[in-house]
Structure 1
Amino acid sequence: MGKVRTEQVKRIARQLLDKYPNRVTADFENNKKIVESLTNISSTKLRNRVAGYAARLAGTVYSSDSLGTEEE
């Protein structure tokens, strides 16, 4: 079984991906800096969880986009 993420982490990560799709990438280290600069999250643990979930979402978005272009 995987780790359970809170709705707050999911909501913040989805909002960042919707507002800044070109800035959020599948790179966790890059996302940590982006989350820190774009949000007012003071907790390091919460920032890292949001950055990690955003990286996972960005990775699935990119992989599904690349799969769609190969089939056409």
Structure 2
Amino acid sequence: MGNVRTEKVKRIARELFRRYPNRFTADYEENKKVLMSLVNLPSKKLRNMIAGYVTGLASAALGNKASEEK
């Protein structure tokens, strides 16, 4: 089963992914670095939670593009 994330994490992650879709990838470590360059987050834990959620969004978006090409 997956983790339950707060609405704050989901809202921030969706907004960042909507604004910068080309900056995020399916790589969690890379997304953490991108987040550090884009926003000043108050805690490491919040950054990691947002990076994890954005990674899932990016993976889903890449999966949808791959299935459309077939």
Would the TM-score normalized by the shorter structure come out above 0.5?
Answer: yes
State the distance in 1 between where 2:11 and 2:39 align: 13
State the distance in 2 between where 1:52 and 1:2 align: 11
Computing the radius of gyration from Cα coordinates, the structure with the larger value is 1
Query: CA RMSD of the aligned region, Å?
Result: 0.9
Q: Which residue pairs with 1:51 in the alignment?
A: 51
TM-score relative to the length of structure 2: 0.93
Matched-pair identity in %: 53
Q: What is the number of equivalent residue pairs in this alignment?
A: 70
Ranges of 4+ aligned residues in structure 1 off by more than 2 Å: none
TM-score relative to the length of structure 1: 0.91
Gaps of 5+ in 2: none
Gaps of 5+ in 1: none
